[in-house]
Structure 1
Amino acid sequence: MNLDSFPDLILENEAVLLRPLLESDFDNLLDFSINEPDTWYYSLVRANGKENLEKYIQIALAAKERKAEFPFIVFDKKSGKYAGSTRFYDINFAHKTLQLGYTWYGEAFRGTGLNKHCKLLLLQFAFETLEVERVEFRADNDNKRSIAAMKSIGCKEEGVLRNHMPTYNSDVRRDTIILSILRAEWFENVKQRLVDSIKELN
């Protein structure tokens, strides 16, 4: 099983729809890029400003063409608006692993439960359709909001790669925290906890 079998993959439930990112989605994301540039403060690949957004989408689509990544655009059904983007990346089907990240949402969509809906769909697809054994998450160790969001969906912290890589356009290097969910954990308790937490939002 691999993503070649799902070129037009759409994941959705009553709250959110995730579909493949397209070049034309530039128009759907431009407002965030211009008006909410701090969204990418901790990101290594930024989409703040028109030129950076164009590059962001081009890089994502090129990685999809190489079969290294699968980027999505996120549509919030409640508001009827596009909310942000996320993707599978570092996909290794031989090892049955992938990473889930490059996730960002506009300010109005943070803290609404949208992220949990997205993660439920993405993790369910990864573990139950693609049958991977491990989904990994990474973040700048200073990005406390992102780390808290990952832990809230059931990710376990594995450790920190110290002085791991340079930050965006800077000589300062960042520490990178690594978290993960394993296949057994998903079926044992993570999925049900995530489903229950979503129910509590309604």
Structure 2
Amino acid sequence: MMSKQSIGFNFSEDYILEDDVIKLMPLRIEHIKQLVKISDDPDIWLYFFEKGNDLESLTTYVESAIQNRNYEKEYPLIVFDKRKNSYAGTTRFYEFSSVFNSIKLGHTWLGKNYRGTGLNKHCKYLLFQFAFEKMEFERIGFGAYAGNVISIAAMESVGCKKEGVLREFFPSLDNKGRTDAILFSILKKEWDAEVKSQLKNKLNNSKNNY
């Protein structure tokens, strides 16, 4: 019997998620013109293996993400900030598993002027709602460099729970050694029971937003 995920998720469909603050749309080649205006920031790419801090590298980054969508490996999205009326960054779903009915969420970055504005929480709320309520996945996984304290704090702030460490999983940033990966997740039953309402409350209280 096929799982709900394998029946329901369609890589060729253009899913659009939005609320009164943001709009998430499939990433396209034409978005490079807008993204290159905000991607020239070394803080964005510090923990990324792929870079996008100039036109050439950003073009490769976007083309690779779109190609992976065509291969049904990833589903990249662009983030549009309705308040600023401008594109803010990208995110994506990846590592779909119809066997385990699970998915991962990551490759998320926002331009400097969009960080610390609450945009990330709005983004995560829509993505969690879509994954758990429309696609009916049972779990969303996340990962981060052990030293990426900002990303780890952001994941914890939207309800992710730490579940383990992959020892020396990544090469260190100076390429002189190895560093750990920290694993997080959210389960559908946690979303239904508490995470959804808690995150919604944070969205309604801008003082607590990242």
Interval of TM-score (by shorter of Structure 1 and Structure 2): over 0.9
Counterpart position of 2:97: 92
Is the Cα contact below 8 Å between 2:11 and 2:70 reproduced in 1? Answer: no
Task: Provide the secondary structure at the position in 1 that maps to 2:136.
Answer: coil
Q: CA deviation at 1:175?
A: 1.2
Q: Aligned partners of 2:20, 2:138: CA distance in 1, in Å?
A: 27
Is the Cα contact below 8 Å between 1:137 and 1:180 reproduced in 2? Answer: yes
Is the Cα contact below 8 Å between 1:2 and 1:93 reproduced in 2? Answer: no
Answer yes or no: is 1:143 the counterpart of 2:148.
yes
State the TM-score, normalized to the length of structure 1.
0.94
Answer yes or no: is 1:110 the counterpart of 2:107.
no
Q: Aligned partners of 1:14, 1:98: CA distance in 2, in Å?
A: 26
Counterpart position of 1:14: 20
Unaligned ranges ≥5, structure 2: 1-6
Answer yes or no: is 1:79 the counterpart of 2:75.
no
Q: CA deviation at 1:2?
A: 3.4
Task: Provide the secondary structure at the position in 2 that maps to 1:32.
Answer: coil
Q: CA deviation at 1:172?
A: 3.6
Q: 1:169 to 1:20 in 2, by over 3 A?
A: farther
Is the Cα contact below 8 Å between 1:43 and 1:168 reproduced in 2? Answer: no
Is the Cα contact below 8 Å between 2:11 and 2:75 reproduced in 1? Answer: no
Q: 1:56-94 deviations in whole A, cap 9, x for unaligned?
A: 111101110111110000000000010000000111122
Residue of structure 2 aligned with 1:68, choices 54, 59, 73: 73
Counterpart position of 1:162: 167
Residue of structure 2 aligned with 1:23, choices 13, 18, 29: 29
Counterpart position of 1:101: 106
Q: Aligned partners of 2:60, 2:172: CA distance in 1, in Å?
A: 17
1:33-44 mapped onto 2 (5 Å cutoff) = 33-34=39-40, 36-44=41-49
Q: Aligned partners of 1:48, 1:20: CA distance in 2, in Å?
A: 21
Q: Aligned partners of 2:84, 2:124: CA distance in 1, in Å?
A: 19
Counterpart position of 1:132: 137
Counterpart position of 1:32: 38
Q: Aligned partners of 2:132, 2:46: CA distance in 1, in Å?
A: 30
Task: Provide the secondary structure at the position in 1 that maps to 2:15.
Answer: coil
CA RMSD of aligned residues (A): 1.6
Aligned residues between the structures: 201
Moved over 6 A (4+): none
Q: CA deviation at 1:109?
A: 0.7
Unaligned ranges ≥5, structure 1: none
Q: CA deviation at 1:51?
A: 1.7
Q: Aligned partners of 1:133, 1:167: CA distance in 2, in Å?
A: 32
Give the AA of the match of 2:148: N
Q: CA deviation at 1:150?
A: 0.2
Q: 1:170 to 1:50 in 2, by over 3 A?
A: farther
Is the Cα contact below 8 Å between 2:145 and 2:170 reproduced in 1? Answer: no
Point out the more displaced range, 172-181 or 161-170: 161-170
Q: Aligned partners of 1:185, 1:104: CA distance in 2, in Å?
A: 25
